[in-house]
Each structure stands twice: as C-alpha cells, then as structure tokens.
Structure 1
Amino acid sequence: MRAATASDGAAVADVYLRSFDAALPTVRRAHSDAEVREFFQYVVVPRGGTWIAEAGGGAVGMMVLDGDELSQLYLAPEWRGRGIGDRFVALAKERSPAGLWLRTFQVNTAAQRFYERHGFAATERTDGSANEEREPDVRYAWRP
C-alpha cells in the first residue's frame, strides 16, 4: 500500500471501474469509461490523497482521502475479502485521527456492513438527488 503517483492514474481508474461494475450492477454510472479514466488520470491522482494497493504485479485496490472525507475505496472484485479494505480504513483513520465521513449507495449493503464493522455509523440517508448517479445514499461518520 502506497501513495499513488502520476503514473498510477490508469491503474487506479481500472480498479474503480471493475469494482463499481461488479459491486453496483444496478447503479447507473454518470460517466463513460473514458471520462472516468481521464478524471482519475488528470484530476484525482494529481490532486493527492490517492492510495493504491498492489499485489501480483498490479493494482488491486484504491482509496482517496480528501481531508476528513474517505471519498473512494474500491477493490478489484477478485481481491475482496482479503483484508485490503481493512488496511485502507486503518490508514484513513491514522491519517484523519479526529474522524472521517463517507457516502455509500443504499443498495450497497456489503459496503454498509463493512463500514459499520469498522465503527462508522449512519448519520443521514438521502434520496440521491445530490449525487451524479441519482441513487439514494447513506452518509457515514467515524469518530474516535
């Protein structure tokens, strides 16, 4: 697990796309694959706060921290359940010891169980009108 560099943009985007499609098949993506790849390559990774997990010679997980927001955490589908997400959350808590918050879609019950297992509590449920996917979501917060 390490901080992503400029050359990691494509790998980070690939993990995101594969994970999103596998975990959220009913959620409409707001952007094409090409737009997602461009966004990660030229906006997200250069801005900083992106972390990457590697195994077997490639990227298997990614996380983006934006201040106290855990804005993204995605794992390659075949690497779920191997402790990588746990390590990402531990890193996020270490880097934001005063607390964290995040959003996940309401249909993503696996993510909700994961975050609740790590001490996050649901603080708000929305109808999704404020996100690009227009998908109902849940806001979670963790406080030490």
Structure 2
Amino acid sequence: MAGTWLRSFRNALPTVRLAHGDDEVRDWFAFVVVPRYEAWIAEADGVLAGLLVLEGEELEQLYLEPSWWGKGLGDRFVALAKQRRPAGLGLWTFQVNGPAQRFYERHGFVAVERTDGMRNEEQEPDVRYVWRPGE
C-alpha cells in the first residue's frame, strides 16, 4: 500500500513536500493504517492498483497507481466509500491538486473550507470537502 501511495503522491503532487520519508510512510501504513483503519485495495494482475482508507466519517486516503488514473477505479472507490458511509463523508485535499478537486466535485462533494495549510504536516494550503446524500 505504501508504495502505491508514494508513487501516486509524487506523480500527482510534485510541488508538495512529503512530510515523512519513505520508510516512515511504510511504517505508518504497516502499524497504523492497516490495523486501525478500514482499508480497501484494488488488485489487478497481482499488482496493487489503488487503495481507499476510511476512518470514521473521513475518506482519509484514495490513491491509485498512476497507470490506473482515468480508468474508473477511483469512481468505484468513491462509490464504495459512499456505500460504507451512507450518512456522509468528509475529506481534505491540497489546493494545488485541481484534478482531485474536480474529481470529488463530480462525485457530489462540496468545498466547505479552505485553509492556509498551517494545520497539516506538509504546511500546504488545503480544502475541505463534504458529501451528504441527497445534496
């Protein structure tokens, strides 16, 4: 999972500083994400194509191998997240990530807050999105 996350992050957000090194990210997935959160993966031909991580009502992580971008896998993950959290979801994405913002807006998420990034580890301006059924 961590390898997919790292490749996707670096390809989608080349201007955003990673707050942690690769080994720390791998440890975070192994010792925090997998045992504590609801994590889903998509596998194709024995390779991890993408991951979805939910924590409570938060869509914490949705990352795809770059070769899987634009093939509908992200749509399927969002549908799964909505199915698993039918009362609604929230998420954060970076303001520089225009493709992610368009993706979430296409799926009914609405921007409700923008910050200067001082509350996230990357110190990167971000935007809060929420989805509520029926809105």
TM-score (norm 2): 0.97
Matched, 1:41 2:33: no
C-alpha separation between the residues in 1 aligned to 2:93 and 2:32? 21
Could you list the runs of 5+ residues in structure 2 that have no partner in the other structure?
none
Deviations 1:56-87 (A, max 9, x none): 21101001000110011000001101111000
TM-score (norm 1): 0.91
The alpha carbon displacement at 1:36 in A equals 0.2
The alpha carbon displacement at 1:43 in A equals 1.0
- List structure 1 runs of 4+ shifted beyond 3 angstroms: none
Matched, 1:22 2:14: no
Matched, 1:125 2:89: no
Which of 40, 43, 55 is equivalent to 1:66? 55
User: SS at 2:90's partner residue?
Assistant: strand
Could you list the runs of 5+ residues in structure 1 that have no partner in the other structure?
1-11
RMSD: 0.5
Q: Which moved more, 1:47-56 or 1:129-138?
A: 47-56
Task: State the identity as a percent.
Answer: 68
Number of aligned residue pairs: 133
User: SS at 2:42's partner residue?
Assistant: strand
For 1:53, the aligned partner's letter is: A
Matched, 1:82 2:71: yes
